Amino acid sequence: MAHKQKERVIAVVGPTASGKSALAVKIARLVNGEIISADSRQVYTGLDIGTGKVTKREMKGVPHHLFDISNPKSTVSVVHYERLATRAVQDILKRGKVPILCGGTGQYIDAVLTSVSFPEVPPNAKLRKELEKLSAEKLFKKLQKMDPARAKTIDAKNPRRLIRAIEITASLGSVPARTPATERYNTLYIGLTLPKEELYARITARLRSRIKRGMVAEARKLHEQGLSWKRMESLGLEYRFLAQFLQKKTTKNEMLDLLEIAIRQYSKRQMVWFKRNKRIRWVEPKDRKIFTIVKTFLG
């Protein structure tokens, strides 16, 4: 089969707080691999505690790629990310090592590993001006009518993402028919799954830990370095709620309660996205058979 001739790549996917980074490091050390981050916010410098970037110590000597590639004032598109990640995959393969894509941003994973194409629609200033007057709720309803499939996986409270999705749909005249994406590589997809209660407990514990490690001070520093509140809010999740708290729009307790709910909702949207990929082998983080699966795959 021609499929066997494709270069081998491993992808570690799953919802936030499921333990992807730690597992990817273990696999990388086992197979002489290098990790490529597939996280839409870890690409930015300075967004460290809030996005849960692995520390040098947690990397355990394993090379990591595509962290800190852009100032958060500018936006890294899926198209831009795909180009950089593909270059990293090819470079790792060329050196005889195993590329391990790790992250929870489904669009990034699909863009790199499959032939799915993301339209390079230029910004429409006139349309954006009109859309920016609408609330996130109205934008979401608009997108639901235009592209129900995209509405299921988007952050319904993120105006920047909603406006971009509407802009793409409006530019194309209609939602493009989704043709089945072909795999670019011979990819082993490992998906981490946990019982809901356990995942939610992890989300809570991780949030408390990030607060202790200085997540609020990190957001304040970003603003002092010139990141506008509006841009910080558009980065979503932790940074949206931190920006609101630092502007005194919410109390600390309100921020934590709202943020925890938002992260839970985000984990559900991630699973909706990943469940569409029937090639993902779902396992629990402590399942030892993960390593047997990897060894068998690499032969």
Whether residue 235 has pLDDT greater than 50: yes
Q: What is the pLDDT of residue 64?
A: 98
- Are residue 51 and residue 91 in the same domain, yes or no? yes
* Total domains present in the chain: 2
Query: Which pTM value belongs to this model?
Result: 0.86
- Are residue 184 and residue 168 in the same domain, yes or no? no
Is residue 89 one of the residues assigned to a domain?
Answer: yes
Average pLDDT over residues 230-235: 95
Q: What is the pLDDT of residue 52?
A: 95
Beta bridge partners of 12: 102, 190
Domain hosting residue 290, numbered range: 7-118+179-298
Q: What is the CATH number of the domain that holds 192?
A: 3.40.50.300
Comparing 217 with 2, the larger pLDDT belongs to: 217
**Nearest C-alpha neighbor of 147 from the set 133, 131, 167, 128:** 167
Whether residue 183 has pLDDT greater than 90: yes
Q: How far is CA 260 from CA 6, 131, 175, 269, 281, in A?
A: 41, 28, 33, 14, 28
Domain boundary among 138, 172, 206: 172
Average pLDDT over residues 47-67: 97
Whether residue 3 has pLDDT greater than 50: no
Q: What angle do CA 28, 33, 36 make, to 5 degrees?
A: 90
Domain boundary among 143, 172, 201: 172
- Are residue 12 and residue 154 in the same domain, yes or no? no
Q: What is the pLDDT of residues 236-274, one digit of tens each?
A: 999 999 999 999 999 999 999 999 999 999 999 999 999
- Are residue 110 and residue 135 in the same domain, yes or no? no
On whether the CB atoms of residues 154 and 166 are closer than 8 A, the answer is: no
Is residue 74 one of the residues assigned to a domain?
Answer: yes
Domain boundary among 139, 157, 172: 172
- Are residue 168 and residue 93 in the same domain, yes or no? no
For the chain, give the mean pLDDT.
Answer: 93
Is residue 95 one of the residues assigned to a domain?
Answer: yes
- Are residue 14 and residue 159 in the same domain, yes or no? no
Is residue 2 one of the residues assigned to a domain?
Answer: no
- State how far the Cα of 43 lies from the Cα of 70, in Å rounded to an integer: 6
- Are residue 208 and residue 247 in the same domain, yes or no? yes
- State how far the Cα of 250 lies from the Cα of 195, in Å rounded to an integer: 31
- State how far the Cα of 14 lies from the Cα of 273, in Å rounded to an integer: 10
- Are residue 228 and residue 153 in the same domain, yes or no? no
Q: What is the pLDDT of residues 64-97, one digit of tens each?
A: 999 999 999 999 999 999 999 999 999 999 999 9
Is residue 208 one of the residues assigned to a domain?
Answer: yes
- Name the residue type at position 67: F
- State how far the Cα of 296 lies from the Cα of 196, in Å rounded to an integer: 30
Is residue 1 one of the residues assigned to a domain?
Answer: no
- Are residue 264 and residue 192 in the same domain, yes or no? yes
- Are residue 134 and residue 220 in the same domain, yes or no? no
- Are residue 210 and residue 270 in the same domain, yes or no? yes
- Are residue 147 and residue 287 in the same domain, yes or no? no
Q: What is the pLDDT of residues 117-160, one digit of tens each?
A: 666 677 788 998 899 899 989 999 999 998 888 888 888 888 88
- Residue 8 burial class via C-beta count within 10 angstroms: exposed 0-12, middle 13-18, buried 19 and up: middle
Q: What's the distance, CA 136 to chain centroid?
A: 21
